[in-house]
Structure 1
Amino acid sequence: MELTSAFILHHRPYRETSSLVDVLTRDHGRVSLVARGLRQTKKRSSPIQIFQPVWLSWYGRGDLVTLSQIEKDEPGYRLLGNASLCGLYMNELLVKLLPVHEAEPDIFDAYRQALSSLQQKNNEQITLRLFEKALLSHLGYGLALTVDAESGEAIEEDGIYIYHPDSGPRRVFGQRLQNTVSGRSLRHLEQEAGFDELSLKEIKHMMRSVINYYLGGRPLHSRQLFAGLNQFNTKTS
């Protein structure tokens, strides 16, 4: 197979000197491969680094193929501190939600754009929410953000809604329940503009519920890292 553009999403030891590597390619989607003997390479010189654009090829058939060639493309994205955790979160979403060997060039481009945004130290919460939205859309799980799923009426800015992943937002009345989202926040997400602290908080809770639905109960280890960091910051502040 010819060389194709890719990013390393995750890698782990396999047998004595090899690694199991999950990659996101532009032309073939997510690919799981065996990198034989690669752990003998010095870590600093190895192209098997997360957030590193590479060119690679493989051979074999089925869900697990064998790496045949890999080389660095452009310099890797340098994500520091919390931005690095955001990158790990995106990687884990891709590994757990993307099917193998299905080309998703739009997801590849959205991922590259999100890495660039994180490297430039743009608002991390906005970057993650827009990436999540793009990922769900390209997987066929696009969010319904303009119409009440129950009444069919247009979303009202001052309305309060609960978002149901299988159908969309439904308005609730009376006492405000946990994990509700305002029509105003839904508009911000639909237009991808106008975010503020309140709308980002509401959208974060909504997106977590939606993503949990599609994960089918599988935990995200990167969320545990976020929780641990927040707990540490609380204790030291």
Structure 2
Amino acid sequence: MATRRPHEEPAYVLHRYDWSESSLILDVFTRHQGRVALVAKGAKKPTSNFRPILLPLQPLRVSFGGESEIRNLKGAEWVGGHVMPTGDALLSGLYLNELLMRLLARDDPHQVLFDAYAAVVQVLASEHGEALEPALRAFELLLLREIGLLPLLDAQTLTMAPLIGAERYSLVPEGGLRQSHADDRASLSGAQWQSLQRGLQDGAPFLATLRACAEVANGLKPQLRALLHYHCGVATLHTRRMMIDLQSL
């Protein structure tokens, strides 16, 4: 059972909701407690110490307590280290937040995933735009693996037959990893899938998977998107729709 009075817990705000004229409900991703709901009383007041720091994509340390499902925020401190992402990077960060809120159960810790999220946020806040797509794909893979929704990537899912390096395979929502069909939107070679699996099994999985994604991000993107939408139960995520609408302006 999760500790009820965490102190200075590494955390990120995923989303915030108005609760009253002066307070907020926060959906927060913490390193040791997982995803939790907190009430920040008085956080909307101009004089509140919480007001300028309870923002998404900012590293925090929070303290909270209480026995109810929505616990009381006792303290919050901005850790610093980077500025708020902007533009496409900001939308990408909000997209990751939506995935976490849809797919992570409350009070279910995932320390490896938290560390990967923190690493992606640093990429989003940097000026290294070329790393954005591989970082997003690496995080999506780790998220699916951590919650048990990603099949092994070095074998065909239904038969468990090992992949052949030069053959093409596709990851599909209802069938896992299979040999590519003519109607598959995208595919990767067996050698590329095997490289991704080795990355996920590495002692530093985010960095290793990021390197493996660098050469295959474009082919991986539609396959992971279909899998994520399938498990989220939606045709298009809210943040994805926002990106599409902005691009059409």
Root-mean-square deviation over aligned CA pairs: 2.5
Matching of residues 122-137 of structure 1 within 5 Å: 122-137=130-145
Kept after mapping to 2: 8 A contact 1:6/1:54: yes
Alignment partner of 2:72: what SS?
Answer: strand
TM-superposed CA distance for 1:14, in Å, is 1.5
8 Å contact 1:5–1:25 — kept in the other structure? yes
Say if 2:23 is the partner of 1:6.
no
Distance 1:14 1:51 in 2: 21
Q: For residue 61 of structure 1, report the CA deviation from its aligned partner.
A: 2.0
Q: Which runs of 5+ in 2 are unaligned?
A: 200-208
Tell me which residue corresponds to 1:40. Answer: 45
Task: Pick one of 112, 119, 139 that aligns with 1:106.
Answer: 112
Offset of 1:196 from its aligned partner?
6.3
TM-score, normalised to structure 1's length?
A: 0.85
* 1:21 aligns to 2:26 (yes or no): yes
Aligned residue for 2:193? 186
Question: Match of 2:206?
Answer: none
Query: Where do 5+ consecutive residues of structure 1 fail to align?
Result: 233-237
Aligned match of 1:235 = none
Q: Is the 8 A contact 1:77 1:115 kept in 2?
A: no
Distance 1:226 1:60, change over 3 A: same
Q: 1:147–1:154: 8 Å Cα contact kept in structure 2?
A: yes
The aligned amino acid for 1:72 is W
**Shift in Å at residue 40 of structure 1?**
0.8
Runs (4 or more) in structure 1 with deviation over 6 Å come to: none
> In 2 relative to 1, CA 196–30 (structure 1 residues): closer, same or farther, beyond 3 Å?
closer
TM-score, length-scaled by structure 2: 0.81
Whether the 8 Å contact between 2:229 and 2:237 is mirrored in structure 1 is no
What SS does structure 1 have at the residue aligned with 2:53? coil
Kindly indicate whether residue 124 of structure 2 is the aligned counterpart of residue 118 of structure 1. yes
**Alpha-carbon shift at residue 226 of structure 1 (Å):** 1.6
Shift of the 58–151 alpha-carbon distance from structure 1 to 2, 3 Å rule, reads closer
Amino acid at match of 1:35: A
Deviation for aligned residue 1:71: 2.0
Q: 1:21 to 1:74 in 2, by over 3 A?
A: same
Output the CA distance in 2 between the equivalents of 1:42 and 1:82: 32
Answer whether contact 1:161 1:171 (CA < 8 A) is retained. Answer: yes
CA distance in structure 2 between the aligned counterparts of 1:142 and 1:27, rounded to whole angstroms: 23
Distance (Å, rounded) in 2 between the aligned partners of 1:12 and 1:164: 35
Provide Cα deviations, 1:151-179, integer angstroms capped at 9, x if missing partner.
43322344333423355211145xx2142
Partner Cα separation in structure 1 for residue 21 and residue 89 of structure 2: 32
1:13 is displaced (CA, Å) by 1.4
Q: Distance in 1 between the 2:17 and 2:235 partners?
A: 19
Shift of 1:63: 2.4
Q: Aligned-pair distance for 1:80?
A: 2.1
Question: CA deviation digits over 1:72-111, x for unaligned, max 9?
Answer: 2224543121111111111111111111112221111010
1:53 counterpart residue number: 59
Alpha-carbon shift at residue 219 of structure 1 (Å): 4.9
Greater mean alpha carbon deviation, residues 129-138 or residues 64-73: 64-73
